[in-house]
Structure 1
Amino acid sequence: MPAQPEAPPEDELLWEVGGDGVAKLTLNRPHAGNAITGPQREELIARLAGASADPRVRAVVLTGAGSRHFCTGADLAASSASAEPPPPDLPDRPAGSVARAIAGGAQRLVSAVLDCEKPVIAAVNGTAAGIGCHLAYACDLVLAADNAKFIEVFVRRGLVVDGGGAYLLARLVGPQKAKELVFFGDDLPAAEAERIGLVNRVVPADELAKTASEWASRLAAGPTVALGLGKRLINRALDGDRAASLSEEAMAAEINMTSEDGQEGLRAFLERRPPRFRGW
């Protein structure tokens, strides 16, 4: 049986929850381009799942340490070094092992971002490559420093795009542009990423953290239940038909109106005062 991944060193993945309900999640391996190890990936997934259930967390900012790299993908060197050899009576790569590794690794990480019930902002502070691109694209809002760039690096290594890249890109920029990005693997500057809809806003590098904090604080002060349900509706609308989408919308409205924030919004409107949202 494969060994369970160890927890990453505490300083390789930073997690901090502020008094305003904004959680900051920082990939802290700048010496390795903030590439993600297996233990880091598992901790990221756990943190995002925990954020969904924690009423103290109302928005999440995901970024990388340093000024050069957001995330340069999976740390293949670390993965290879920690991999256990197969038993001597089995081939080096049993059938289905690659598919299982992708499904249990990069795809779970991207899904954890998409499924997080709190808004997640990517603050892309430098190069995002491979799964690093998809980690950003899976976030609800993407801010990028003006010196950031995105690289679908898979083709440069002779690899098919993975980690949900085809799924995300086709929905965000359409199939033709998605193929261009995946087929050529060229550097995509932040300004061009904004122009084609992969980035919400590009800001000067020295203003990125401040802007991300401001956006996250606005979200954290909002009606968390309604935001989470809205996120779910938009994500699922890309996959279902109209009838299913409208049915889910009606159910979401029903759920939202049983929440305290939903009731508070109506009371505040009727009483002509600013609402005081509490996150449930």
Structure 2
Amino acid sequence: MAAELAGMVLKCEATGKLFFSSKDAEVHGEETGLKDFSQVSLDEKVWTCEETGKVCFTAQQIDLHKRRVPEALTWHEGTVSDLKAKQAASSKSDEGTSEMETEEELLLREAGVKPKQKKNAAPAAAHVVTKESVVQLVEMGFTQLRAEKALLRTANAGIEAAINWLTEHLDDADIDEPHAEAPQTKSQDEVDAETAAAMSEGGAKSSSSQLTPAEKKAKLDEALAKARAKKAGTSVEEFKQMEKVRREGGKELTAARREQEEQQRKRDMEARQREKREFEEERRRLREKLAADKADKVKKGLIV
């Protein structure tokens, strides 16, 4: 980007991220291939969530965030200039990236884990694409290679960002060249589980050696529940309650199935016993008939 952009606050139109320096915006553009940036006025109003640190520009964005994160209750009104001042003050004590909070950092914050400050960090999971996103893009008519490239270039920012990138780069000479390094394809559940594991490790790093396997599993389960609750757009307690109901329903279904199988087993056993009794009764009647026939023939002198 040109030097005249220095000092401006820029927003990536595809991902919605804010950048307080042209250098950070340039790095983002190089890493993702996205080139559509707009300038944000320093006087523009913003609302910052106290619980999550999320910055929203409109009431619609606030409502969407509240639906996704029910814990987001307290909001403070300010301006982009206020955010820039806070960022400048923060950078003096910690030379980290000036990029706004990422989704991963937000997820870690919601789990009670303080995100690590990174300097010139690459996007998380730069060589990982989600299976669900690839399938959706392929179903839209894109090749798997192009779908993977779009997701990698947009740092897995979503289907819309991937489509925007593909639209801009369909005529690139290397669009169909194989990957220099094949990306990993993981399901969204696997990504959630890894994120939850990172939360658990980050929150218990100092005392992990003192935790028992059961305690480590409990922490991992708690972090995973928070990640899945966020994805489901509900609170952790509501998600746990839904999981409890689902598990109890599964137990009841299993118990009912076992009861049905037991009843069927009893019916089968009774049927076999009945068949055996009928067979023995038929044999007894045949023996009695044979004995009666023999006695009658002896009486008539037909046999000695």
Q: Same fold (TM over 0.5)?
A: no
Give the structure-2-normalised TM-score.
0.28
Give the structure-1-normalised TM-score.
0.30
Larger strand proportion of the pair = 1
Q: Which has the higher contact order (CA 8 A, sep 6+)?
A: 1
- Structure of higher CA gyration radius: 2
